[in-house]
Each structure stands twice: as C-alpha cells, then as structure tokens.
Amino acid sequence: MPMKCETNLLQDLGEFNDFLKLIREQRVGSYLEIGSKHGGSFWRISNVLPKGSRVVSVDLPHGDGSFKDTEPNLRQCVSELKNRGYDSHLFLTDSTDATTIESVKGLGPFDLVFLDGNHSDPFLRSDWLHYGSLATALVAFHDISWPPSKPPPKGMPCDVMGFWKNLKKDHKHVEFCRRRDECGIGVLWR
C-alpha cells in the first residue's frame, strides 16, 4: 500500500508536473515549503531533488482543520525522506512565528521556496518577506488563478491572485495554469 504522501496531492496534476519539470531543469538542490498539509507536494518535489538535499516543511500542527490526519501523514513523509537520504526537517507551527522564522533561516538559503500556506493577504506578505528572501533562485506560489470572488474551500479568503499579479511585474516569471478559475502555480526568479 502506498504512503499517503505518495497519493495525496492537492494540486492540479498537469500544472504540478510542469512545475516538476522546471525544478529538474533548474537543478534545484534545496527546498522549503510553507503549507504542506498531507505532504503530497513536499514528497513529490523532494523526490526530484538529488539525495542529500536539504528539504524543509513548515505547516500548522494538525493542519488547518479542513482535513483530519494531516500531521501523521506529513510526519511520515518527512521521516521517509530522511530514511531515503534527504536532509529532511519539519516545523509544525505557524509560519509567522518569530522563533520558526529564525530556525528556518538557520537552515537556508534554499534554491526553491514554495509558498502554499495561508492564502490571505497578511500571511502571504509575511511568508514572502520572511521566506521568499531565503530563495537563491526560485519562489513559487500556489492558487495564482483563484479569483477573489470565487468562494475558496474552507471559507478562507484567497488573495493569491492579486498578490501574484502585483509581484510578478518586477520579476522574470512563469505560470502553470491549466484552468483559469482555480489552482495555478506561479514561479518567479529572484
């Protein structure tokens, strides 16, 4: 039976595969993910990196309440990555916590930072400021195509589209969007 982190991917598969192709082409060797939930994206991205790569996940303990059992799944993913030879770390805490920010900075910098945590504007700004600055090459955002007028899952605001639209103006970037009314991954070069 496959591990849940091998099967749980809360992304559009086509968009995500395009994103993985870019990660391979850019020869990413270290990775930070903010918002890992079950660990599906963390698992898949980590496994395209060379063995020995530093991979770090920051997620709320017990997830965001929208799914049960996210923490055990994520712990299993991080543990299995460690068993497979990755320098794997997990922080189960709020990404805006000052102690967490400092601890993660101590493990950086990272070739790739993927911001997929709380999608509301204050958290996006905080994660961009504190973690986007740790990227030496790429910063990616999830849900860049989710319009603010569309009710998001879990009833939480999704401000990524507007944030991304303003941010990408000043950076070389690429977008992986198969559906224009949800999902989407935006990647910019630092």
Q: What pLDDT, in 10s, does the model give residues 115-139? A: 988 777 888 999 999 999 999 999 9
pLDDT computed for residue 11 by the predictor: 77
Give residue 130's domain range: 4-189
The enclosing domain of 125 has a CATH number of 3.40.50.150
Handedness of CA 81, 85, 86, 91 (dihedral sign): positive
Q: What is the pLDDT of residues 3-48, one digit of tens each?
A: 566 666 767 788 999 999 999 999 999 999 998 888 889 999 999 9
C-alpha 155/C-alpha 106 separation (Å) is 34
Please give the Cα distance from 111 to 29 (Å, whole number).
6
Please give the model's pTM, rounded to 2 decimal places.
Answer: 0.91
Query: For residues 184 and 56, which has the higher predicted lDDT (pLDDT)?
Result: 56
In three-state secondary structure terms, 18 is helix
Q: What is the DSSP string of 82-116?
A: HHTT-EEEEEES-TT-HHHHHHHHTT--EEEEEE-
The per-residue pLDDT for range 172-190, each reduced to its tens digit, is 999 999 877 668 899 999 9
Quote the number of domains for the chain: 1
Write the CB contacts of 5 (distance below 8 Å, at least 6 apart in sequence).
Answer: 38, 39, 40, 42, 43, 73, 74, 76, 77, 80
Span 138-162, pLDDT tens digits: 999 988 887 666 666 566 678 888 8
The pLDDT tens digits of the residues spanning 110-119 come to: 999 999 887 7
